[in-house]
Amino acid sequence: MAKESEIINPDSGVDIVIIDIECTCDDAKNLPRSEMEIIEIGAVFGRLTDVSFVLVDEVQIYVRPVIHAKLTQFCISLTGITQDVVDTASPLSEGLKRFAGRISSNSPRVWGSWGNFDLRQFEKESLSKNITNPLVALPHVNIKQLYARKRGHRVGLARAIRLSGLVFQGRHHSGLDDARNIAQLLEVDGVLMEC
C-alpha cells in the first residue's frame, strides 16, 4: 500500500473525494455500534494543488436504514435528518450504486475522511449487506490523523475549523456540510500538503 505522502503530491495536484457519512445513532446506548447504519453520504470531489482546493462536484445521498428503521430523537437532533427523509430514501444498495456513478464520472485517485469511522462503516456495512463497496479500490487518507500530526494534538472537526481561523459552514453532523468543511481545512490549513 502506498504511503500517504506518495498519494498526496501537491506538485501534480490530486483528484480527491472527501466523504462524511451520518449513521443511525442513540445516546442511550440502545443501538449497538454493530447495528449502526449509514443514513447519509456527503461527498465533495476536488482537485488539490499546492495553493488551493478546487471543488469539482458534490453529492448528498440519503439512505433508508433497515435494522433500526425508526430514527431516535437523538439522531434526528444530531444530524437534522428527519424520519420522512429516510422513509422516502433508497436502500443502501441503491445509494451506493448512485455514489459509484459519481465516483466513476469524477475519477478520484484517493478518498479522505475525518478519522477512520467512515472507512470502517463502509467496509462493515457493505460486507454485512453483501453490497459492492465503491471505495474499495481507492486508497484512504485519515485527514484527522494528518491534522493531528501537523498540529500536535487530535481534535474534532468543529474545533479544527476554529483552530485554523475558519468559520464552520452549515450544520455540524450533516454529511455534506462536514465534507465541505474538511475541504475548507485542506485549502486553508494545508493539512495534506505539509505532512
Q: What is the mean pLDDT of residues 74-91?
A: 98
Which among 195, 154, 193, 194 has a CA at the least distance from the CA of 48?
193
Per-residue model confidence (pLDDT) at position 118: 98
Measured CA to CA, the distance from residue 37 to residue 80 in angstroms comes to 16
Q: pLDDT value at position 51?
A: 75
Pairwise pLDDT comparison (166 vs 9), residue with the higher score: 166
Tell me if 22 sits within 8 A of 173, measured CB to CB. yes
Name the strand (E) or helix (H) holding 187.
helix 175-189
Q: Is 173 marked active-site? A: yes
Among 154, 59, 63, residue whose Cα is nearest residue 115: 154
pLDDT tens profile 144-163: 999 998 888 899 999 999 99
Q: 80 or 3, which is more confident?
A: 80
2-11, 25-34, 69-78, 80-89: least confident range: 2-11
- Note whether 50 and 11 are within 8 A (CB): yes
Residues 32-53, buried b or exposed e (16+ Cβ, 10 A)? eeeebbbbbbbbbbbebeeeeb
Nine cell digits for residue 115: 478519522
Tell me the mean pLDDT in the region 165-176. Answer: 96
CA distance 184 to 82: 27
* C-alpha 40: how far from chain center: 9
| Residue 126 Cα distances to 42, 75, 93, 133, 193, angstroms | 17, 22, 9, 6, 31
Helix, strand or coil for residue 42?
A: strand
- Determine whether 153 is an active site residue: no
Place of cell 449487506: 129
Of 40, 68, 140, 173, the active-site residue reads 173
Closest CA to 41 of 130, 101, 110: 101
What pTM was computed for the model? 0.90
* Contact partners, residue 186, CB within 8 Å, separation at least 6: 16, 18, 46, 48, 53, 143, 192
Annotated catalytic residue: which of 4, 22, 40, 187?
22
Around Cβ 194, how many Cβ atoms within 10 Å? 10
How many CB atoms are located within 10 Å of the residue 148 CB?
16
